[in-house]
Amino acid sequence: MTTESVEEFRHRARAWLAEAMPRLSGAMPDRLDDNRRQVERVLQRTLWEGGFAGIGFPAEYGGGGLAPEYQRAFSEESLPYDMPVSLNVPTLGILAATLVDFGTHEQKARHLPAILRGEELWVQFLSEPSGGSDLAGCLTRADRDGDLFIMNGSKIWSSAAFVSDYALCLARTNWDVPKHRGLTMFIVKIHQPGIQVEQIRQVDGSMEFCQEFFDDVPIPVADVLGEVDDGWTVATRLLVHERNAVGGGSPYTSGRSGGHESSGQDDSLAQMVRQQGRAGDTHLRQLVAEAHVRGLVGGALIQRVTSGVSRGQMLPSAGSLLKLFSATNVMRRYEIGLELAGEGAAAWPASSAGVAQRLSEATLWRQGLSLGGGSNEIQRNIISERLLGMPREFAADRDVPYRDVRRGGARG
Amino acid sequence: MEFVPNDEQIFFQETTRKFLSVHCPIPVVRALESAPAGYDPQYWRQGADLGWTSLLVPAEAGGGSLSEGGLMDLVLVAEEMGRMVSPGPLAPVNVVASAVAAGGSAAQQAAVLPGLLSGETVAAWCGEHPVEGVIDGENLLLSGLASPVEAGAQAQHLLVAVRTEGGLRQVLVPGDASGVTVTPLGGLDLVRRFAEVRFDQVVTTPAERIGADEDAAEAIEHQLQIACVVQCAETVGAMSRAFEMTLEYLGDRYSFGRPLASYQALKHRMADNKMWLEASHAVMTAAAGAVASGSPAAGEMVSAAKTWIGPHATELIQDCVQLHGGIGVTWEHDLHLYLRRTTVNRVTHGTPEYHAERIATQLLGAVS
Ligand SMILES: Cc1cc2nc3c(=O)[nH]c(=O)nc-3n(C[C@H](O)[C@H](O)[C@H](O)COP(=O)(O)OP(=O)(O)OC[C@H]3O[C@@H](n4cnc5c(N)ncnc54)[C@H](O)[C@@H]3O)c2cc1C
């Protein structure tokens, strides 16, 4: 327990940030820049050395062991600084969070401090070429062989796997039981013989997506996270962390994250209108205000849901409200951006490609956030079934041994 | 911080809920359709006894609240009244009582507050748009029109914003002052009454001013914020109730041998409605909290709430109508009462577009 109040902590953080972290100048750093991850690893290391890495993580494993208010105060103070924000999702907010919940002492001692020092980036190996929404229907297999499991199959859409170090990977360990009961979650070292990682080009030209092919990959039994054949429990919790992290409600992320992306702090649309000299246009003013209001509403919703869940007044699946809100907010925000940009979204002078090009290409990618981390449709299923108690969808694979379940076509 | 009602506040809220369900259930609301005031004075006095009108008035002035400043308590009352589409001039009475407690002279407080707090009298707030004022010696002559003014025809006191050469002023005048013409208006809500209030060379004395001259602009802005918060809380209550009724209905009603609630197309719409409802609740509470704590962001949050909640409330309830099928567009079904109330709240005290423009002014400067 700390005796330092949130305000005292905030003051100490403010002073330290000014001293130790580089200030943001002008535009946000391009998170897809090739060198960016290296820069962020170093920034994370700086946080660690200052004692401000993993404020909400257990002190026993290198974290600050502090309540969410402290992390929130730090994040607020950190906004003017360059922070290792791409570590938030997925490494800290999703994978490290799941390790905290299910890891053995050895697993946590081995990985959490290394993560907080910026030495290990983690990703999720969940989706497969045969489908992502029906996560429990995964086909990648891990067969027991003494102290090892031998993994074969393929994962896809794993963001940034090529520059990362470890993954949590869901694989089928038992084919004779219904689908949810035959899965196991593994800690997998990404770069090793037997795992081939291929990058996939996205619509905006970036090469974030990866596909992995597993060819007799040996995984020590000690790297099972949670229980053998109980990987669904781990995966479900991981998804709760994911919705919170992407929706902006995670206690583990630091600095600008998820929901903050479109929070009231972002001035870029107003700036665009001013630069165009159209700040007096009534219609555009309404659009700029709408985007701003959506950011404020999103921030208020994050507070309501995180507080409701932490007090036990809302179910953890209320995180789906945040995920859906933030995804639909981004959809609308990109639409507004496109409308403000006008013809500038179609063609730009070669000399000033930057802003306009980024904006319009990002628009092409608009649905990315409505798919990644569980699609909007899946969030709507969760909200209606788990929060509102409406009847569950018919599932043809319920109570059927997985080897007897019908499967459709896979991509590629 | 997210506002979490404490035990006392929850008890207070439940008391109001019980009172409304016993003394003013929906059939009673419907029966008031043609009552001139839209409410029974006895009911309003009983509500005042429960504290509805004293929350924004400090204990020294005869009021009292559970939370600091009382606005968070008032929000709970407003939510309950929204859930029951209840009658009664909650927003105007509270706005005026708070203004008189904050800026009124001792004589004004003594003359006005006891009646408002006991529910014997009511007051109307003529809104943030000023009428014209001409300085005449030490008096101020008012001319102009305020409309629509909630409870204007029932009010013994009118709080009026006035634009003079010297800047904004506020005066509290009797509803029957000479030169004041109050004309009741027809309206969408079954029980909420509005009036047009016309000022024709109305002579007001210095004793009728409220607050120091230089505080008037800020005071008027604060009144707008309170009125909007109460209105938004009421709308959120109405949205919650319409949503609950619809969720229940979808579970009970069958088509093609299965409950409507089992169709994914409808489940997804209810999921969106739930998201809109929670987001509305969240921004309303955030706005109320900002006003209650005197935050510099209060005006921005209030306008965000007004911009967001109005259209989402009416869209949500229209969707509830759709999900009910034919019964949803009948007089017999209660949904239209909710649609009436939330539509009225959407467009009064500034439309969503008006409040979006306030936000735009902050982001982009005023239109020259
Ligand atoms: C930007 C981004 C990053 C990602 N990062 C990762 C990552 O790091 N690791 C990882 O493992 N995966 C990742 N994914 C994959 C993501 O989780 C999947 O794309 C997603 O779960 C959908 O799966 P799918 O692509 O196979 O589509 P499908 O599951 O085939 O779905 C296709 C469409 O059908 C809809 N649908 C499916 N089932 C239902 C249903 N029951 N009811 C209603 N509609 C339904 C879906 O909503 C979708 O619109 C990422 C995806 C994106 C876009």
**CATH code of the domain in which A352 resides:** 1.20.140.10
Residue A249 confidence class, pLDDT cut points 50, 70, 90: confident
Residue A348 confidence class, pLDDT cut points 50, 70, 90: confident
Return the residue whose CA atom lies nearest to atom 20 of ligand 1. Answer: A132
B193: tokens are 């009454």
Residue B127 shares a structural domain with residue B209? yes
Distance between CA A353 and CA A359 in Å, rounded?
A: 10
Q: Does any domain span residue A335?
A: yes
Ligand 1 atom nearest to A161, measured from its CA: 8
User: Which of B364, B367, B368 best tests the A interface by mutation, with the highest count of A CBs <10 A?
Assistant: B364
Interchain contact, B353 vs A286, CB within 8 Å: yes
Q: Does any domain span residue B133?
A: yes
A158 Cα–ligand 1 center, Å: 11
First to last CA, chain A: 53
Which pLDDT tens digit goes with each residue over A123-160? Answer: 999 999 999 999 999 999 999 999 999 999 999 999 99
Range of the domain at B194: 123-213
Residue B225 shares a structural domain with residue B204? no
Helix (H, G, I), strand (E, B) or coil at A220: strand
Interchain contact, B359 vs A293, CB within 8 Å: yes
| A22 cis-preceded (ω within 30 degrees of 0) | no
- Is B364 within 8 Å of chain A by CB? yes
The interface predicted TM-score of the complex, written ipTM, equals 0.96
Residue B137 shares a structural domain with residue B245? no
Q: Does any domain span residue B321?
A: yes
Residue B223 shares a structural domain with residue B337? yes
Interchain contact, B356 vs A301, CB within 8 Å: no
Q: Which of B163, B178, B213 is the last residue of a domain?
A: B213
Q: Does any domain span residue A20?
A: no
User: Which of B359, B361, B362, B368 best tests the A interface by mutation, with the highest count of A CBs <10 A?
Assistant: B359
Which pLDDT tens digit goes with each residue over B199-217? Answer: 999 999 999 999 999 999 9
- Structurally, chain A folds into a number of domains equal to 1
Residue B55 shares a structural domain with residue B129? no
Contact residues, chain A to chain B, C-beta under 8 Å: 267, 270, 273-274, 279-280, 282, 285-286, 288-290, 292-294, 296-301, 303-308, 311, 318, 321, 324-325, 328, 377, 379-381, 383-385, 387-388, 390-391, 393
Residue B194 shares a structural domain with residue B137? yes
Mean pLDDT over all residues of chain A? Answer: 92
Residue B334 shares a structural domain with residue B249? yes
A62: tokens are 């290198």
Distance between CA A141 and CA A161 in Å, rounded?
A: 20
**CATH code of the domain in which B159 resides:** 2.40.110.10
Q: What is the b/e burial string over A113-122, where b = at least 16 CB atoms within 10 angstroms of the residue's CB?
A: bebbbbebbb
pLDDT at residue A264, as a whole number: 47
Residue B198 shares a structural domain with residue B223? no
**Which has the minimum average pLDDT: A13-17, A248-252, B62-66, B286-290?**
A248-252
Give the side-chain half-sphere CA count within 13 A for B173.
Answer: 29
- Is B262 within 8 Å of chain A by CB? yes
Q: Does any domain span residue B118?
A: no
| pTM of the complete model beyond 0.90 | yes
Which pLDDT tens digit goes with each residue over A192-208? Answer: 999 999 999 999 888 88
Q: Which of B169, B196, B213 is the last residue of a domain?
A: B213
Residue A260 confidence class, pLDDT cut points 50, 70, 90: very low
Closest Cβ opposite residue A303 in set B2, B267, B271? B2
Q: Does any domain span residue B54?
A: yes
Which pLDDT tens digit goes with each residue over B138-183? Answer: 999 999 999 999 999 999 999 999 999 999 999 999 999 999 999 9
Return the residue whose CA atom lies nearest to atom 52 of ligand 1. Answer: A372
Q: Does any domain span residue B113?
A: no
Percent with pLDDT over 70 in chain B: 100
Range of the domain at A263: 257-387
Q: Which residues line ligand 1 (CB under 6 A)?
A: A 123-127, 131-133, 157-159, 368, 371-372, 374-375, 377-378, 381, 393
- Structurally, chain B folds into a number of domains equal to 3
Distance between CA A79 and CA A72 in Å, rounded?
A: 11
**Cβ pair A212, A186 in contact under 8 A:** no
User: Which of A332, A336, A384 best tests the B interface by mutation, with the highest count of B CBs <10 A?
Assistant: A384
**Which has the minimum average pLDDT: A34-38, A312-316, B31-35, B357-361?**
A34-38
Interchain contact, B275 vs A321, CB within 8 Å: yes
Residue B144 shares a structural domain with residue B231? no
Q: Largest alpha-carbon pair distance within chain B?
A: 79
Residue B95 shares a structural domain with residue B132? no
Interchain contact, B267 vs A381, CB within 8 Å: yes
Strand partners, A230: A183
Q: Which of B103, B134, B152 is the last residue of a domain?
A: B103
**CATH code of the domain in which B48 resides:** 1.10.540.10
